[in-house]
Structure 1
């Protein structure tokens, strides 16, 4: 497929297990002084696979080992390219392509590959419809009559439907070929009608849950070749972006369910790609407590010996990091701490704080961000009715005189402790690498929220108090106004 229509068409493939390959390319306008490259899609990237030889004006890509399934790109000297399908369904991997430097589908001639014949049949059809759509768009822009503009809009929508219908026709007629699996995977699932007798919100929830469960119904999860096309990566991205709520437990459930389906279908390539993708996707998610999802992927796949493609050093490092994360994952009981107060006389054990909500703050007197956040936390504490919550603030460094001076100056009225005698391994327990760090615990000292900014502490505390029935919604609103 040609570069300038890739987004419209988007197609790819897989290869037979033992075949050698011999792909010949004739490009009018190029000579043996030029060099062509063969690359393949892999997820959202492309990788170089071979460099051409040239004989009598014809370029050849040859090899004694198989090409893996996927969509391949033949790249010309000016970096424009056309795509070809390499399919394990074909008896041999000996293909011939003739085109010119315009790379228009109408010019392309294919010999020896039914998959690519169908591929370019569709491309020619889609390009023709694209030209029609372009003309209609120009007419719509120029048209002032609203009725005529609506008619043109309807006609334009019909063109898009005809392209989808053509692709679906090829998919249905060639279901066992790679192109059929590819085009089927490109179909968007449509939700079924919700049951009668439920309100609009329930209908929306029903269709959301149905789509989340059936999103992958059109995708052959046993076909390795889909990984070597943009389709599988695109589906993964869309699925988790569209249907994953900002809840780590739900994200974990969705990821595990998909991986289990892939394992059952038998595609090693999809399995590897999905596990790797999900680890990265969860790491980059900006949602609260999503380190729990990262930890889950590390522990249950990489550290469980299921990431067979990763080297041992990488896995060892990941397992070390995940072990550090585990004690302070959301929903875990917060590790206890027992440290002296600012007079170094009384020890205060965190677990003995008898309040429905406990806020843990790890801070440093010389930390720039702490200098901004701690006064906000102090004002919040003093302004709110704090009989139902307490702050346990841990000084993380060793400048005891400077710490005491700061407490005297800023008059922090909450619990202030420090590891003055080095007996409490709080850094290891809480994986403290930067400050400030804030964790909010419920009455059972379970970690419910973490990495909260100072301005969000009050509403988070009130949320937990309301959840426990300690404050009513009206009281919560009044407290929020105070803060």
Structure 2
């Protein structure tokens, strides 16, 4: 028999049930169900997300009745995520804040073949998997054609195979473009559009080739970001934005500090206007590190610019105050010796300790500053090279101003006498020159090369590079004729 429950009691229980249901629903904001044929609840899946060129763990699965679930109290941010299997192989999924993340469901097996990987509850992923299936199928076909191409000896057949390979690439690109064009409001549309390279303008025919290539380069640099939606934070949770940022500065930046600075400022300003705080934050942080690690001469000026104009100016809203304070302190130390800035004056005594020699008073088109120490191992290797260079070159157009950085005066004098260093040798014997502060001398040797106006043009170079930098500056200033190249 059925038990009869009074209507008031039934309503009370129903109210309690509905209350618990809605509380539970409000508690969970995402529930991604994953079925992997070949795995059991004894296994565990991981959910990770891309961020720039790295991947970060986001969640671990719970399993019930053979179905793995990723659940959380807050919606996942829009982006490209990875479902990672026990053997560390994975498949990617798209997550969007505009979709109901409680309905995401995926099915595949341990091979992760796109042919059998399916999605429910997400239009983004239906399109994503559809494209992946096509891309993999065409990739397999392309590999087979490439093997045939490599083994073929008949040029006519090779040409046909090459055309087929090109058609495969065109087909895949066209499919991705079609998805982007048909779905401009979806994340996948934004993602696939950003992956499209902007096509360069044709070379102009009515001007010389060098000028035409320059115009093409400038056009590409200006329009490189046209396909990137700079209001979409989700692009940061994918490799796409990072890869474009790296490619842009690796291949379109002229390796001159002022040009790099201008390029960085234009891009950051464009992103700021676009509205994506994540793109803005990532770009500033990336460029700070990019310029810091640059091997190009004087690029620390770009590093200094990023620190001063973004971090120290209060625009790096995400950065810890102590970190910013330290960065500003370091940038202040860098400032006096940035390239193209007048080198700070030094006036120190020579070995007699009675005569001061002013660096600024040296009347030569080129001045080489060398900071060194008699007990520095690297200095012992570099200083003989500098001496040999000085003795072998006609030094009427340049002078070396060598600063001993420590306090063993007798040892210093003895070394000079033994090695016969005939260039200008000074030391801070009276302790009244702030060379260490002005030139930020922490290690030795340190070498700076100045032009006739005593502006810093080269710095932190090796002894073997001095002769070439002198020759370059003498030619640039019209002091000597350019050397003829064979």
Q: Tell me the TM-score normalized by structure 1.
A: 0.92
Among 437, 440, 462, the alignment partner of 2:471 is 462
SS at the partner of 2:104?
strand
2:430 is aligned with 1:432 = no
Match of 1:122 among 124, 131, 139: 131
Cα offsets for 1:272-299 (capped at 9, x unmatched): 1101111111111101001111111111
Deviations along 1:89-143, one digit per CA (max 9) or x if unpaired, are 3255521111111111111121110000000010111111112112212222332
Q: Which residue of 2 aligns with 1:157?
A: 166
Deviation at 1:382, TM superposition (A): 2.4
Deviates more, 1:188-197 or 1:223-232: 188-197
Secondary structure at the counterpart of residue 94 of structure 1: coil
Of the candidates 266, 269, 277, which is equivalent to residue 286 of structure 2?
A: 277
Paired residue for 1:237?
Answer: 246
Distance, in Å, in 2 between the alignment partners of 1:24 and 1:230 is 24
Counterpart of 1:364 in structure 2 is 373
Kindly indicate whether structure 1 or structure 2 has the higher relative contact order, using CA contacts under 8 Å at least 6 residues apart: 1
List runs of 5+ in structure 2 lacking aligned partners.
1-26
Partner of 1:325: 334
User: How far off is 1:19 after superposition?
Assistant: 8.9
In 1, the alpha carbon distance for the partners of 2:177 and 2:64 equals 39
Helix, strand or coil at the partner of 2:162? helix
Give the corresponding residue for 2:401. 392
Which of 87, 93, 96 aligns to 1:84? It is 93
1:173-214 superposed Cα distances (whole Å, 9 cap, x missing partner): 111211011001111122102333211111111111111111
How far apart, CA to CA, are the structure 1 residues paired with 2:151 and 2:347? Answer: 75
Match of 1:339 among 348, 360, 363: 348
In structure 1, distance between residues paired with 2:223 and 2:57: 35
Which residue of structure 1 lines up, in the alignment, with residue 54 of structure 2?
Answer: 45
Query: Aligned to 1:309, what secondary structure does the other structure show?
Result: coil
Greater shift, 83-92 or 325-334, is seen at 83-92
* Corresponding residue for residue 21 of structure 2: none
User: Which residue, 18, 28, 44 being the options, matches 1:35?
Assistant: 44
Distance between the aligned counterparts of 1:177 and 1:263, measured in 2? 22
Output aligned runs, 1:141-180, within 5 Å.
Answer: 141-180=150-189
Q: Secondary structure at the match of 1:392?
A: strand
Aligned: 1:133 with 2:142: yes
Matched, 1:223 2:246: no
TM-score (norm. length: structure 2):
0.92
How many pairs does the alignment contain? 460
Contact 1:86–1:93, Cα closer than 8 Å, also in 2: no
2:426 aligns to what SS in structure 1?
strand
Deviation digits for residues 282-319 of structure 1 (CA, Å, limit 9, x no counterpart): 11110100111111111111111111112122112111
Structure 1 counterpart of 2:19: none
Deviation at 1:385, TM superposition (A): 2.2
Q: Is this contact kept in 2: 1:465–1:471, CA < 8 A? A: yes
- Quote the residue 1:307 is aligned against: 316
Shift of 1:445: 1.1
| 1:348 to partner: Cα distance | 0.8
The aligned runs of 1:187-266 (5 Å cut-off) are 187-266=196-275
**Counterparts of 1:198 and 1:454, CA distance in 2:** 44
Aligned counterpart for 1:25 among listed residues 24, 34, 55: 34
Moved more, 51-60 or 92-101: 92-101
- Structure 2 match to 1:68: 77
- 2:47–2:83: 8 Å Cα contact kept in structure 1? yes
Cα distance in 1, alignment partners of residues 292 and 265 from structure 2: 16
Aligned residues of 1:36 and 1:75 also touching (Cα < 8 A): yes
1:381 paired residue number: 390
Alpha-carbon shift at residue 434 of structure 1 (Å): 1.0
Contact 1:171 1:184 in 2 (8 A): yes
| Cross-structure match for 1:453 | 462
Instruction: Find out whether 1:441 has 2:450 as its counterpart.
Output: yes
